[in-house]
């Protein structure tokens, strides 16, 4: 048996790794282009909500509020100054409550957008998985035909018969729902007579 020199094996392995790296790099770039397109196509409301939610989740936002609250309280409690909102700071409470309502709305808008993006990713993942399953089923069918032509026995494998059939997504969903129902606490609870 002829052995390749170590440097030739190393070059061959590097060539395979480079091709795999190129393929994965192209996949990553493709997904980045999809994400950039989605970001560019956001509505003005989605962009504004994302900006506000991002800023509200930052430490500068916390420090800005800490300084504003400290200043408000100091100016309304300092002796000798006119107090426009004396203790218990009713107007400050109103302002903070209104701010909380709007911030919650912006955060929910931003989360709804992220949910739409996540749903789109899940749908893409599902479609790729279904396509991969269909390709694998077709390859099994082709390999079985090749095996028959060369006289190889593949009929004794019971799993092969099942795997070469097309997968029915509706049937799988029904099986998942049935299994979840059987595992639910209500299904496990003893029935009262």
For residue range 2-54, list pLDDT tens digits in order: 555 667 666 666 666 677 788 788 888 888 888 888 888 888 888 888 898 88
In this prediction, residue 23 carries a pLDDT of: 77
Q: Which is nearest to 87 in space by CA: 78, 95, 96?
A: 78
Q: What is the pLDDT of residue 66?
A: 95
User: DSSP string spanning the chain?
Assistant: -PPPPHHHHHHHHHHHHHHHHHHHHHHHHHHHHHHHHHHHT--HHHHHHHHHHHHHTSHHHHHHHHHHHHHHHHHHHSTTS--SS-TTTHHHHHHHHHHHHHHHHHHHHHHHHHHHHHHHHHHHHHHHHHHHHHHHHHHHHHHHHHHHHHT---TT-HHHHHHTSPP-HHHHHHHHHHHHHHHSHHHHSPPP-
pLDDT at position 144:
85
State residue 17's pLDDT score: 64
Average of per-residue pLDDT across 153-182: 81
- Where are the chain's structural domains? 44-178
pLDDT of residue 59: 95
- Residue 3's Cβ-side half-sphere holds a number of Cα atoms within 13 Å equal to 4
Looking at the predicted structure, is the pLDDT value of residue 111 above 60?
Answer: yes
Instruction: Specify the pTM.
Output: 0.61
Predicted local confidence at residue 95, as pLDDT: 94
Q: Give percent above pLDDT 70 in the chain.
A: 87
């Amino acid at each position: 048996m002829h052995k390749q020199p170590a440097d030739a094996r190393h070059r061959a392995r590097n060539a395979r790794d480079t091709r795999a790296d190129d393929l994965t790099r192209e996949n990553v770039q493709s997904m980045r282009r999809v994400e950039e397109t989605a970001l560019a196509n956001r509505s003005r409301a989605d962009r504004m909500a994302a900006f506000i939610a991002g800023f509200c989740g930052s430490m500068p936002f916390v420090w800005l509020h800490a300084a504003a609250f400290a200043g408000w309280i100091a100016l309304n409690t300092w002796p000798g100054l006119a107090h426009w909102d004396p203790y218990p700071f009713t107007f400050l409470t109103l302002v903070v409550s209104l701010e909380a309502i709007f911030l919650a709305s912006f955060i929910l808008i931003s989360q709804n957008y992220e949910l739409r993006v996540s749903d789109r990713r899940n749908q893409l993942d599902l479609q790729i998985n279904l396509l991969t399953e269909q390709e694998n089923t077709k390859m099994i069918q082709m390999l079985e035909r090749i095996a028959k032509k060369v006289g190889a026995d593949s009929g004794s494998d019971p799993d092969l018969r099942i795997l070469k059939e097309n997968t029915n997504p509706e049937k799988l969903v029904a099986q998942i729902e049935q299994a979840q129902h059987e595992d639910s606490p209500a299904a496990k609870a003893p029935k009262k007579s």
